[in-house]
């Protein structure tokens, strides 16, 4: 019999916020492991690893109990450089068996508790993913394509609540 040792244990100071998501923090070494495998990770030329990986602003870092998924909400201090308004899904990575769209919907509910009625948005680099349908998991969770970025051609997806 094989025993799975959770990467993100409740005893490690992470508070369970929903069925799958636990609150983590920017700079958490275990969350960083998932972030380091996300295509948006910035590689510094000098090889340094900054302590924090989310960036400035209000942030909410979520991880699953087994450490197989990461979701990061970020509300910029000032307007987002792309002109998008609301709360940004800065990182989403799912390496587990739970449906990505289900994890996104759960993360939205957690986001609502912090930013009621906020507009959510994210950017997907269509050249950095294997899917022929960029943002498919977000679309299945009710997000819609609202445009593309001018500089890099990233797909912009958003979800608004009334």
How far, in Å, CA of 160 to CA of 162, rounded?
7
Domain count, the chain: 1
pLDDT at 1: 43
Answer whether 19's CB lies under 8 Å from 99's CB. no
Say which CATH number the domain at 94 has.
3.40.630.30
What is residue 39's three-state secondary structure? coil
For residue 1, being part of any structural domain is answered with no
For residue 113, being part of any structural domain is answered with yes
For residue 92, being part of any structural domain is answered with yes
- pLDDT tens for 27-40 read 787 777 776 765 56
Q: Which residue has the tokens 């636990």?
A: 22
For residue 125, being part of any structural domain is answered with yes
Answer whether 29's CB lies under 8 Å from 7's CB. no
* pLDDT at position 147 over 90: yes
Bigger pLDDT: 126 vs 4: 126
* pLDDT at position 8 over 50: no
Mean pLDDT of the chain: 83
- Tokens for 141? 């969770």
- pLDDT tens for 68-124 read 999 999 998 776 666 788 999 999 999 899 999 999 999 999 999 999 989 999 999
List, edge to edge, every strand of the sheet that includes 87-94: 15-16, 21-23, 58-64, 69-75, 87-94, 120-124, 155-159, 144-148
Buried b (16+ CB within 10 A) or exposed e, 60-72: bbbbbbbbbbbbb
- Structural domain including 40 reads 10-159
Q: Write down the pTM of the prediction.
A: 0.82
Q: Which residue has the tokens 């022929």?
A: 132
For residue 91, being part of any structural domain is answered with yes
For residue 5, being part of any structural domain is answered with no
For residue 4, being part of any structural domain is answered with no
For residue 33, being part of any structural domain is answered with yes
Residue 93's DSSP bridge partners are 70
Bigger pLDDT: 119 vs 7: 119
What is residue 101's three-state secondary structure? helix
pLDDT at 2: 39
- Tokens for 25? 């923090």
Strands 120-124 and 155-159: antiparallel
């Amino acid at each position: 019999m094989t025993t799975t040792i959770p990467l993100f244990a409740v005893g490690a100071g992470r508070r369970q916020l929903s069925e799958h998501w636990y609150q983590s923090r920017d700079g958490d070494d275990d969350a960083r492991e998932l972030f380091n495998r996300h295509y948006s990770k910035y590689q510094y030329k000098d090889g340094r690893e900054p302590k924090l990986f989310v960036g400035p602003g209000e942030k909410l870092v979520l991880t699953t109990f087994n450490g197989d998924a990461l979701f990061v909400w970020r509300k910029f201090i000032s307007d987002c450089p792309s002109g998008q308004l609301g709360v940004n899904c800065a990182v989403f990575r799912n390496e587990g068996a739970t449906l990505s769209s289900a994890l996104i919907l759960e993360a939205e509910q957690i986001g609502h508790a912090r930013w009621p009625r906020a507009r959510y948005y994210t950017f997907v680099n269509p050249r950095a993913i294997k899917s022929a349908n960029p943002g498919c998991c977000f679309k299945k969770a009710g997000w819609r394509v609202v445009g593309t970025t001018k500089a890099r051609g990233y797909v912009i997806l958003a979800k608004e609540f009334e």
